[in-house]
């Protein structure tokens, strides 16, 4: 498909969406989107291309490509000696592929293969484990007052990973091994420290582990996690670190682009930042009851672009022919950066815990957390039935706030108290099923 280059636009690329080949994955774009009539398909793809970027493969690939488009690795610069234009690196961009620090590397990586035999199971003091929450409270810790409530209500943080990426300092260059470092909360990297002595309320998940269980000894942590431990009053004395002195807010432009796309699409759907909490909940309920065939898939794709783009920073090997310890193609990308992914997820988890801790101060504790969704027991079926207020009737400062912006929350779903308790007794996570289906299986 020939497209001539022009002086104003340069080379032109054509992307083809071949629907029978799975161009619009239902987990990213929504069920039945690929079955829409051609005019509606054209409209939704145009909207996504205008607000995010021209789709390139999956939404995860698009999320990664958007990072590169907004922070290109090189630019034209004039050589002062030859007076000729040359390709030069862009400060603050990821300009070349770098090896991960050993704790940051997945098990298959050559760095790990050089240190451990294939059958070795790495322990917390050997591997960085910064993942999203998957935690349930011990049902034995439910109080008598909680057992008198009637509902389990889930609230979900809007664009949690995008909000975490905003103004986040991440490493640009390679990691530097540093023995006995002094902790610096502004220095991106991973640190080996022992946080097992910090006592926390068992009715809350630990902020230091994805499981929510307290750490039992030394472990590797990304900077945001260790900074939060310091914020909680825990003395932080790392014994070892892999630090990135060359760092910056690499994801800021990425966050801004996706935030604007999300907010604009929500506004087109009738959900704006100027709505009251009651109006916001009503508008979101209407959106669920009468989804727009064009804008709802765009909204789903934008959210999937965020999560998929962050996940793609640590893409693992694929294919039956792969052998552990061998490099795989993704490692050649400057944007293969598991440390950046870890920093984003760490920040999102810390942000979640900080808000839960604020609610705990007024006697409200979650019964389950899954990634960006928390479930609380309530006397009524909606978030306004349990979210605390100030004496003036305003949302509790520092807690969860209802609204459309990234970092604010929406109603995720409601079930009965008995349903939630049965889930806890079975060791299942109510946050996963609060909408009536498996949120993770549906790409949420």
- Per the structure, the count of domains in the chain is 2
Question: What are the backbone dihedrals phi and psi of residue 410, each rounded to the nearest 5 degrees, phi first?
Answer: -130, 170
Does residue 64 lie within any of the structural domains? yes
In terms of domains, do 342 and 317 share one? no
Q: Report yes or no: 150 and 385 within 8 Å, Cβ to Cβ.
A: no
| The predicted structure's pLDDT at residue 365 | 98
In terms of domains, do 352 and 407 share one? yes
| The predicted structure's pLDDT at residue 1 | 66
Give per-residue pLDDT as tens, 239-266.
999 999 999 999 999 999 999 999 999 9
Does residue 16 lie within any of the structural domains? no
| The predicted structure's pLDDT at residue 12 | 74
In terms of domains, do 305 and 324 share one? yes
Give the per-residue SS3 of 251-277: CHHHHHHHHHHHHHHHHHCCCCCCCCH
In terms of domains, do 341 and 297 share one? no
Give per-residue pLDDT as tens, 18-29.
888 888 999 999
Q: Dig out the tokens for 285 from the structure.
A: 């309920």
In terms of domains, do 356 and 418 share one? yes
In terms of domains, do 321 and 364 share one? no
Does residue 177 lie within any of the structural domains? no
Is 272 exposed, middle or buried, given 0-12, 13-18 or 19+ CB atoms closer than 10 A? middle
Residues 6+ apart with CB under 8 A from 7: none
Provide mean pLDDT across the span 389-418: 97
| Domain finish residue from 266, 298, 332 | 332
Report how far residue 272's alpha carbon sits from residue 270's, in angstroms, rounded to the nearest whole number. Answer: 6
Report how far residue 222's alpha carbon sits from residue 191's, in angstroms, rounded to the nearest whole number. Answer: 6
439 pLDDT more than 70: no
443 pLDDT more than 60: no
184 vs 318, higher pLDDT:
184
- In this structure, the number of other CB atoms found within 10 A of the CB of residue 229 comes to 21
| The predicted structure's pLDDT at residue 132 | 98
Does residue 241 lie within any of the structural domains? no
442 pLDDT more than 60: no
In terms of domains, do 360 and 290 share one? no
Does residue 316 lie within any of the structural domains? yes
| Domain finish residue from 284, 307, 332 | 332
Q: Where residue 438 falls among pLDDT bands split at 50, 70, 90?
A: low
Helix, strand and coil in the chain, % to nearest 5:
35, 15, 50
Q: Report yes or no: 203 and 146 within 8 Å, Cβ to Cβ.
A: no
- With vertex at residue 270, the alpha carbon angle to CA 269 and CA 271, rounded to the nearest 5 degrees, is 100
Does residue 183 lie within any of the structural domains? no
| The predicted structure's pLDDT at residue 441 | 54
136 pLDDT more than 70: yes
Does residue 180 lie within any of the structural domains? no
| The predicted structure's pLDDT at residue 37 | 94
In terms of domains, do 393 and 342 share one? yes
Q: Bridge partners of 268?
A: none
| The predicted structure's pLDDT at residue 348 | 99
Q: Bridge partners of 193?
A: 219
| Domain finish residue from 306, 332, 358 | 332
Average pLDDT of the chain?
A: 95
2 pLDDT more than 80: no
Does residue 126 lie within any of the structural domains? no
In terms of domains, do 339 and 328 share one? no
Residue 394's domain comprises: 134-166+335-433
Scanning the structure block, which residue is given the tokens 């949690």? 160
């Amino acid at each position: 498909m020939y497209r001539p280059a022009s002086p104003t636009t340069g080379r032109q690329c054509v992307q083809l969406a071949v629907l029978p080949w799975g161009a619009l994955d239902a987990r990213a774009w929504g069920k039945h989107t690929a079955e829409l009539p051609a005019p509606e398909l054209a409209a939704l793809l145009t909207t996504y291309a205008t607000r995010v970027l021209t789709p390139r493969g999956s939404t995860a690939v698009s999320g990664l490509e958007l990072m590169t488009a907004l922070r290109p690795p090189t630019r034209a610069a004039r050589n002062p000696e030859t007076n000729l234009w040359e390709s030069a690196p862009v400060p603050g961009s990821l300009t070349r592929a770098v090896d991960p620090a050993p704790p940051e590397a997945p098990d298959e990586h050559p760095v790990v293969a050089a240190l451990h035999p294939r059958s070795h199971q790495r322990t917390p003091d050997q591997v960085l484990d910064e993942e999203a929450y998957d935690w349930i409270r011990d049902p034995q810790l439910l109080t008598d007052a909680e057992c008198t409530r009637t509902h389990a209500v889930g609230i979900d943080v809007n664009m949690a990973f995008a909000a975490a990426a905003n103004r986040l300092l991440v490493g640009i260059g390679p990691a530097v091994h540093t023995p006995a470092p002094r902790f610096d909360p502004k220095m991106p990297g991973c640190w080996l420290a022992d946080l097992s002595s910090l006592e926390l309320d068992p009715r809350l998940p630990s902020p230091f582990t994805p499981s929510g269980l307290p750490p039992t000894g030394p472990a590797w942590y990304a900077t945001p996690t260790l900074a939060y431990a310091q914020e909680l009053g825990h003395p932080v004395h790392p014994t070892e670190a892999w630090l990135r002195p060359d760092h910056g807010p690499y994801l800021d432009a990425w966050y801004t682009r996706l935030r604007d796309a999300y907010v604009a699409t929500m506004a087109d759907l009738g959900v704006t930042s100027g709505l009251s909490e009651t109006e916001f909940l009503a508008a979101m309920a209407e959106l669920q009851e009468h989804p727009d065939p064009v804008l709802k898939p765009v909204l789903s794709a934008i959210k999937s672009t965020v999560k998929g783009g962050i996940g793609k920073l640590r893409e693992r090997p694929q294919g039956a022919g792969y052998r552990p310890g061998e490099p795989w193609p993704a490692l050649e990308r400057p944007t293969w950066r598991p440390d950046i992914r870890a920093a984003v997820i760490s920040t999102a988890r810390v942000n979640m815990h900080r808000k839960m801790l604020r609610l705990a101060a007024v006697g409200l504790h979650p019964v389950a957390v899954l990634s960006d969704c928390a479930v609380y027991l309530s006397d009524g079926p909606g978030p306004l039935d349990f979210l605390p207020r100030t004496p003036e009737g305003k949302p509790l400062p520092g807690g969860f706030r209802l609204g459309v912006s990234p970092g604010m929350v929406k109603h995720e779903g409601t079930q009965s108290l008995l349903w939630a308790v049965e889930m806890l007794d079975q060791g299942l996570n109510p946050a996963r099923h609060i909408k009536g289906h498996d949120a993770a299986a549906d790409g949420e």
